Amino acid sequence: MMEGTICIASGTTTTGIIAQQSLSYSSRGSKLFSRRVCLARPKCLANRRQSVPSHAKCELQTAKVTCSEVGIPHTVPSAQELWTQCDSDFVKQSSMTVEEIKKLRLITAIKTPYKPCGRFDLEAYDKLVRFQILNKVEGIIVGGTTGEGQLMDWEDHIRLIAHSVTEFGKELCILGNTSSNATNEAIKATEAGFDVGMHAALHINPYYGKTSWQGMLQHFNSVIGMGPVILYNVPSRTGQDIPADLVERLAKERYFAGIKECMGHDRVKHYSERNIEVWSGNDDQCHDSRWIYGGRGVISVVSNLVPGLMHELLHRGRNDALNIQLQPLIQWLFKEPNPIGLNTALAQLGVIQPVFRLPYCPLDEESRRHFVKIVNDIGREHFIGSKEVRVMRDEEFITVGRY
């Protein structure tokens, strides 16, 4: 076993014990390694760069240790060896196949929190997503209706997708909402989303202006070849249903993963009987869709608040009692158009700043009082956050129209 001599300047400072090492050894010639290593460093400073204070008193020590004891390889890897290490562990871990996406059961349409200036609050966002991961949620929709992608420009939208991939892409599926009623925009946004590493795209049909059956088919065909795609059928928002026969046609495409369906149990049953993966888009129906009508799972709003209970509802078999227990919360969340209820609830739970981008504004005081009762009835321990739920005053909320 090879030996080397380390010269260690040791002393306890505010940054820990700093060691200066110099190691020489012979292996096909003489090589010299010199590096600074931190032998002991407080956890709170683990990710900070700290200099050694000038007043630190250090004593010089000499110690003989083996190369393995200081973590230095016996030989230096060649450029070719390093290149092979780039080949793919990271890429494989950070991507998902269509078949893997088809197996997801609980996907959260994640909320986007804001600072008082109206910009993204990424620190709060990361905690929201981390809570989802800890409660075994398998994927998130970034910048969907719940995440208020409709209130973002494309630069911010893609930036949020990229941030989500960078921070959480190895731990759960990142689905970017890159849909648009303009095919040109949908193409460019989807290209950008896959460029920054999202695992799949969510696409609604062209809204407001609508289009024909053939136009809808060509619109989806323009984006479905780039990577895994989940379609989203929500006629209450788009003003137009995605016909079942069109979905069946698209299901033959290589990158078609399935559909988020808001048209109820009959449509869920129709697709499940044809081996087309379908996620309920309605929290109040997702339990029966999963256990009675053959749906894969749910793309959920309520899982922002109680992901653990939603995981139990979707993974542990039919549970009518839990489903009934959650209905008052679900009805409360959707008494006004989503995400108004969710934004209000998260603020009352103290996990986001009470900031609303217009045209959304908080629920009234009576509704806020009702939410406190619902939380206490279900149990505060099941909800996100650690603070007591409270009835917020009107003046505590901030609404911003320009950001």
Together in a domain, 8 and 156: no
Together in a domain, 292 and 230: yes
Together in a domain, 67 and 162: no
Together in a domain, 102 and 20: no
Q: How far apart are CA 131 and CA 263, in angstroms?
A: 30
Asked whether residue 85 is assigned to any structural domain, the reply reads no
Q: How far apart are CA 29 and CA 76, in angstroms?
A: 12
The model's pLDDT over 228-253, given as tens digits with 9 standing for 90+, comes to: 999 999 999 999 999 999 999 999 99
Q: Greater confidence, 36 or 102?
A: 102
The model's pLDDT over 256-310, given as tens digits with 9 standing for 90+, comes to: 999 999 999 999 999 999 999 999 999 999 999 999 999 999 999 999 999 999 9
Q: Which of 232, 271, 293, 360 is catalytic?
A: 232
What range does the domain containing 167 cover?
93-400
Q: Is 293 a catalytic residue?
A: no
Together in a domain, 211 and 245: yes
91: its two tokens: 């890429």
Number of domains in the chain: 2
Residue 96, pLDDT above cutoff 70 = yes
Asked whether residue 377 is assigned to any structural domain, the reply reads yes
Asked whether residue 39 is assigned to any structural domain, the reply reads yes
The pTM of the full predicted model, rounded to 2 decimals, is 0.78
Within 13 Å and on the Cβ side, how many CA atoms surround 200?
A: 29
Task: Please give the mean pLDDT across all residues of the chain.
Answer: 85
The model's pLDDT over 287-298, given as tens digits with 9 standing for 90+, comes to: 999 999 999 999
Q: How far apart are CA 277 and CA 274, in angstroms?
A: 9
Asked whether residue 87 is assigned to any structural domain, the reply reads no
Q: Which of 111, 125, 260, 271 is catalytic?
A: 260
Asked whether 142 and 175 are in contact (CB, 8 A), the reply is: yes
Together in a domain, 381 and 350: yes
Give, in order, the Cα–Cα distances in Å from 59 to each of 4, 10, 54, 174.
Answer: 20, 6, 14, 51
Q: Is 232 a catalytic residue?
A: yes
374: its two tokens: 């619902």
